[in-house]
Chain A
Amino acid sequence: MVQRSEFLVQIADVRSTLVRMTGLTRDAISDASAALLTVSIDPVPRVRDLRTEISALAAAVEHDVYVVLAMQQPVASDLRTVLAALRSAANLHRMGVLSSHLATIAERRYPAPAVPAELLSVITDMADVAERLILKAGSVVARLDATLAAELVADDDAMDALHRKLFLILLNNWSHGVAAAIDTTLISRYYERFADHAASIGEEVRYLVSGERPPLDSGDDPWFDTVS
């Protein structure tokens, strides 16, 4: 006999909200990248709307978790689920905000491109990695797949490599002035943060499934990197 059916429904609702948030976040980063790379401001309002919607859902997840904790006394995997959901929602919320920051840079430089031609390929790569990561994060949350979650944590390295590559270009023979240097640095930083939050979601799901956090000095610790 299935028991506490109402509670299980609440937990399932929280999870499906999270899955929905990953979809919206993917749309947001995709639109923001398009605004940057195709030099267009058409997608910008959409990114802002998505960001608002993601924030509202994050608040809803937080509220639901709050109510579940106060009223249903979740334990064991149920407890890990609500804690992981709470932190994943916060990560997704930040990812939405970072997407809107990217769109804002595109909007501020428009009609000029925000990304100089020689950096276009690096930023395009970053946009691809970001989209791939949020897509994977969606699967990880939907399927609670620990293997995929571990992959997601590792995939973040690709973004870090691109971030370092961009710095090298900036430091050698930069000819586009300070403003462009600041913009591109921020763009690169936002993508890197975005990827890091995606990795954190992988970390949360890994914790949810296994019940264990990696040791603090492993370099994977989500607490060290989540502040952006």
Chain B
Amino acid sequence: MIAVPIGILTAVYLVEYGQGKRLARAISFFVDLMMGVPSIVAGLFIYAFWLLALGFQFSGFAGALALVILMLPVVVRNSEEMLKLVPSELREASYALGVPKWRTITKVVLPTAFSGIVTGIVLGIARAMGETAPLLLLVGTNPKINFDPFSLSLTDPNPNPMTTLPTYIFEQLTTAAGSTTAPAFYRAWAAALVLTDHHHHVVERAGAVRRPVHQGPRLATRRTRIAMAKSIDVSDLNVYYGKFLAVEGVSMTVEPRSVTAFIGPSGCGKSTFLRTLNRMHEVIPGARVEGKVLLDGEDIYHSSVDPVNVRRTIGMVFQRPNPFPTMSIYDNVVAGLKLQGRQPKKKLDEIVEKALKGANLWNEVSDRLSKPGAGLSGGQQQRLCIARAIAVEPQVLLMDEPCSALDPISTLAIEDLISELKERYTIVIVTHNMQQAARVSDRTAFFNLAAVGKPGKLIEMADTQKIFTNPSQKGTEDYITGRFG
């Protein structure tokens, strides 16, 4: 009871907030240290601290405290590992929906890691249960069973120490004195059975834990907002990772209700630049920008602007389909909406249907909305992610290589969807596939870098037709004709 919340919160701190911080390193060190502590040391520690220093007496609670010390490192280490296993794509997907960090952790990261964390807790309990030494030391020896863990405290006028199962077995066997028919002998066996069975149960439970599908989530009320495609004006933008200048001096205008494609070789900064357009860039520690990004004239990097709101207005779809694995198809679509309070189920149903229809997925999934989103094919999952992004009615949709993990047919389906979506949204797509840029976009921006380690720059931006039939820069011509590198 004590070890679990402390352990999980510590792990959350270590994974989500503490990266590289001194406190986090210190905590990690102590956790590692505690892992190696023999149980008797934990018992002695509590004996010294709780019983001798603070003056309490032997009790079940003192024993429990020792067990907490034993459990804590197991729970922390396990939860930490499980949280690390949650793909960062899921966190990004959640941030990109305009979900604040702490809600991302409680609603996406912890549920995803849930089964793993429970396994850790169970292992921790199992370790604690197998321990006798600290209990012998702290609880005392008493042949009788006592259900009040706090008895024999200072306030109890009638001291009544508690037994532990191993002690109990020992006592009963002594009483039986070699006779295999004495009742005490059977009591000893019964106790031993309870002990092993208990262990067993706990371990079985660990295997039986299932990922829960969220039902009856907290529903959202939101202002009805009409989707309005907005323009983006970027002037003189520099993007840094720490001291490294990754993208230099980009100025461009992205027209509303159009598809703008970013092409260029790997490392040219096109994805990095894309992520600055909805402030996803700053999720990475040390990343920052200089310059201006105006959304319909409004500076999204102004100090009064909350990045969470920016991401709500400018949605994002990622390279790998990343539906939330713990959620059903339905809940995935409304994931971004759940965060703004209650909304009638009927309204949500409408939104789900509209978003899935908008993503050309409705016909394929309308009969299995409560099934997990992870059960869909790759192409369907990506369309689910697009539905999830458009359900919050963003004004701009950023797509970071949305088809690179998909087969050609799914790719064409997404491309068709993009050309439908541009009627309502401003779309910016990063793609490694030049032909895709040619097929789907109205405007194309070509990024390049002079050499590895040099910043990426915008070389040329023009109508896609111009770029692919008569580009004005030699660098563009060389890249699109394959005379590159």
Contacts and interface: CB of A to CB of B under 8 A. Distances in A.
Nearest to B480: A70
Interface in A55-86: 66-67, 70-73
B409 A73 contact: no
Interface string B389-433: 000000000000000000001001101100100000000000000
Interface string A1-12: 101111100000
Interface of B: 360, 409, 412-413, 415-416, 419, 435, 438-439, 464-465, 468-469
A71 B468 contact: yes
Mostly helix, strand, loop or mixed at chain A's interface?
helix
A71 B480 CA distance: 11
A3 B412 contact: yes
B469 A73 contact: no
A7 B409 CA distance: 15
B399 to A, nearest CB: 17
B469 A66 contact: yes
Given A6-B419, A7-B439, A66-B469, A71 B464 contact: yes
Contact of A70 (B409, B412, B413, B469): B469
B438 A71 contact: yes
Nearest to B419: A6
Contacts of A4: 412, 415-416, 439
Given A71-B438, A71-B439, A71-B464, A5 B416 contact: yes
B244 to A, nearest CB: 35
B438 A3 contact: no
A72 B439 CA distance: 5
Nearest to B438: A71
Contacts of B468: 70-71
Nearest to B418: A6
B469 A3 contact: no
Mostly helix, strand, loop or mixed at chain B's interface?
helix
B469 to A, nearest CB: 5
11 contacts: A3-B409, A3-B412, A3-B416, A4-B412, A4-B439, A5-B419, A6-B419, A70-B468, A70-B469, A71-B439, A71-B468
A73 B435 contact: yes
Nearest to A67: B465
A67 B470 CA distance: 11
A79 to B, nearest CB: 14
A4 B360 CA distance: 14
Given A3-B409, A7-B439, A71 B416 contact: no
Interface in A62-112: 66-67, 70-73
B435 A3 contact: no
A169 B223 CA distance: 88
A4 B418 CA distance: 11
Interface in A1-46: 1, 3-7
Given A70-B438, A72-B438, A72-B439, A6 B469 contact: no
Contacts of B465: 67, 70-71
Given A3-B412, A4-B415, A6-B419, 12 more contacts: A3-B413, A4-B439, A5-B416, A7-B439, A66-B469, A67-B465, A70-B438, A71-B438, A71-B439, A72-B438, A72-B439, A73-B435
Contacts of A1: 360, 413
A80 to B, nearest CB: 19
Given A7-B439, A72-B439, A73-B435, A67 B416 contact: no
B416 A6 contact: yes
Nearest to B409: A3
Contact of A67 (B409, B412, B415, B469): B469
B455 to A, nearest CB: 30
Contacts of A67: 465, 469
Nearest to B415: A4
Kindly list the 10 A-B residue pairs having the minimum CB-CB distance in the complex, ordered from nearest.
A71-B438, A3-B412, A70-B468, A70-B469, A73-B435, A6-B419, A71-B468, A3-B416, A4-B412, A67-B465
Nearest to A1: B413
B32 to A, nearest CB: 55
B367 to A, nearest CB: 17
A75 to B, nearest CB: 11
B380 to A, nearest CB: 12
Contacts of B435: 73
Nearest to B469: A70
B361 to A, nearest CB: 11
B432 to A, nearest CB: 15
Contacts of A66: 469
B360 to A, nearest CB: 8
A48 B146 CA distance: 113
Nearest to A71: B438
A73 to B, nearest CB: 5
A89 B73 CA distance: 78
B470 to A, nearest CB: 9
A68 to B, nearest CB: 10
A6 B417 CA distance: 11
